[in-house]
């Protein structure tokens, strides 16, 4: 990524989608897009791959269910065998509810923490706000100007076709973090 990026502001998600699609087709590198809500189809337009957080969720869930089942079995029929209501030492049906809850708890927390970690979200983080209206009613597209053949004027023109409200050039902060 170079230091220079091109920012395009849109008012409607349709414009953003179309512009994104067009920019990507033209072979430009899209750094990111910023939207006030989840715009469906944007990931396809940007050419992003589906998130792998589902696997984290699945893994945590498995750890939860297996870990809890093992603990229940170990504590009731190995560590100290106690006769509870004449039930067998290892009574699998009664282990199910807690194992299930443990699975849900771990899967839920696992995936949320994974999300925060992957997206580098944490309390006290000060993101660079390019346009404060991006969380209200503006859609932003950030295009990398790194390409040697990057023709700013042409791109500008292309973006205007998609009703871009404004197109401007920006220099990224040290560290390359635009966010």
Partner 1 sequence: MNDSAKKTYWKSFAQRDGCLDANEADPHQAGPAPFSRRHFLEAAGFTLSLATLSGCGRAPEVIALPFVDQPEGMIPGRSQTYASTCAGCPAACGLLVGVRDGRPLKMEGMPEHPLSRGGLCAIGQALPLGLYDSHRLAQPLASGKVTSWEDVDESITRLLGEVKQGNGAVRFVTSTVTSPTLKAQIDAFLAQYNDAKHVTFDAVSCSAILDAHEKTHAARVLPHYKLDQANVIVAFGADFLGTWISPVEFTAAWQTRRAPTKKHPKMSYHVQFEGRLSLTGGNADRRYRLSPVEYGGVLSHLATTLSMLAGEDPPAGRLSESPIAATEIDHLAEKLWDARGASLVLCDSQDVSVQVLVNFINHLLSNYNKTLDIQRPSRQRQGNDADVLNLVEELKAGKVAALFVAGTDLTHNLPDHKAIAAGISKAKLVVSFAERQDDFASLAHFVCPDHHPLESWLDAEPVAGLVSISQPTLQPLGGTRSILESLARWSGDSDSAYDILRASWRENVLPRVEPRPFQAFWDKAVHDGFVNATPIAPTVSEFQSDTVALVDAEPSGDDYTISLYSKVGLTDSRHAHNPWLQELPDPTTKITWDNYVCVSPTAAKELSLSNGDLVRVETDEGSSVELPTLVQPGQHDRVGAIALGYGVRGTDRFADIGPKWLEGRPTVAPGELVGKNVASLIETRDGELQYTVSGVTLTKSGGRRDLASTQEHHSLEIPRNVAPHGAEVRDIIQETTLEEFAQDSHAGTPHAHHHGDTQLWAEDHTKSGHSWGMVIDLNKCTGCSACLIACQSENNVPVVGKDEVRRQREMHWIRLDRYYSGAGDDVSVAHQPMMCHHCDNAPCETVCPVLATVHGDEGLNVQAYNRCVGTRYCANNCPYKVRRFNWFKYEREDALQNLVLNPDVTVRTRGVMEKCSMCVQRIEEGKIAARQRDEPVVDGNIQTACQQSCPAQAIVFGDMNDPESKVHGAFEDPRRYRLLEEFNFRPSVAYLRSVKNREAADGGEHHV
Partner 2 sequence: MSDVHASLRSPLVTGDKTISDVTRDICAPMDRKPTALWWSAFGLSLTALIVGVAAVWYQIATGIGTWGLNKTVGWAFDITNFVFWVGIGHAGTLISAVLFLFRQKWRTAVNRSAEAMTLFAVMCAGIFPLIHMGRPWLAFWMMPYPNTRGPLWVNFKSPLLWDVFAISTYLAISAVFWYVGLLPDLATIRDRSEPGWRKRITSILCLGWNGSARTWLRYETVYLLLAGLATPLVFSVHTIVSMDFATAVIPGWHTTIFPPYFVAGAIFSGLAMVLTLMIIARKVMQLEDYITMTHIDRMCKLMMSMGCIVGLAYGTEFFMAFYSGNGYEQFVFKNRALGPFAWAYWTMVSCNVLIPQLLWSRKLRSTLPVVFVIVILVNVGMWFERFVIIVTSLHRDFLPSSWASYAPTSIEIATFVGSFGLFFTCFLIFCRIAPVIAIAEIKGAAHLKKRPPAESITEEKAA
Residues engaged in binding partner 1 (CB under 8 A): 82-89, 91
Q: Which partner, partner 2, partner 1, none, binds residue 86 by CB below 5 to 8 Å per kind?
A: partner 1
DSSP string, 42-80: HHHHHTPPPPSHHHHHHHHHHHHHHHHHHHHHHIIIII-
DSSP string, 31-52: EEEE-SS--TTHHHHHTPPPPS
With respect to partner 2, which residue has the nearer C-beta, 69 or 155? 69
With respect to partner 2, which residue has the nearer C-beta, 66 or 166? 166
Q: Which partner, partner 2, partner 1, none, binds residue 35 by CB below 5 to 8 Å per kind?
A: partner 2
Distant-in-sequence, close-in-space partners of 117: CB < 8 Å, separation ≥ 6: none
Handedness of CA 19, 20, 25, 29 (dihedral sign): positive
CB of 67 to partner 1, least distance (A): 20
CB of 141 to partner 2, least distance (A): 9
With respect to partner 1, which residue has the nearer C-beta, 86 or 175? 86
> Which phi and psi (to 5°) does residue 51 adopt?
-70, 145
Structure tokens of 22?
A: 């067009």
CB of 84 to partner 1, least distance (A): 5
With respect to partner 1, which residue has the nearer C-beta, 72 or 145? 72
Cα–Cα nearest to 29, from 1, 55, 50: 1
Q: Which partner, partner 2, partner 1, none, binds residue 28 by CB below 5 to 8 Å per kind?
A: none
CB of 74 to partner 1, least distance (A): 15
Q: Which partner, partner 2, partner 1, none, binds residue 88 by CB below 5 to 8 Å per kind?
A: partner 1
């Amino acid at each position: 990524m170079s230091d220079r990026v091109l920012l395009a502001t849109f008012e409607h998600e349709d414009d953003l989608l179309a512009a994104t699609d067009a920019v990507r087709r033209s072979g430009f590198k899209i750094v990111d897009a910023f939207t006030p809500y989840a715009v469906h189809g944007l990931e396809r337009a940007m050419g992003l791959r589906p998130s792998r957080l589902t696997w984290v969720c699945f893994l945590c869930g498995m750890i939860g269910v297996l870990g809890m089942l093992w603990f229940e079995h170990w504590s009731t029929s190995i560590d100290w065998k106690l006769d509870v209501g004449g039930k067998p030492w290892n009574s699998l049906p009664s282990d199910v509810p807690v194992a299930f809850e443990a699975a849900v708890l771990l899967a839920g927390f696992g995936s949320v923490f994974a999300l925060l970690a992957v997206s580098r979200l944490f309390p006290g983080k000060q993101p660079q706000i390019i346009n404060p209206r991006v969380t209200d009613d503006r859609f932003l597209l950030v295009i990398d100007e790194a390409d040697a053949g990057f023709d700013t004027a042409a791109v500008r023109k292309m973006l205007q076709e998609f009703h871009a409200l404004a197109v401007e050039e920006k220099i990224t902060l040290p560290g390359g973090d635009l966010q």
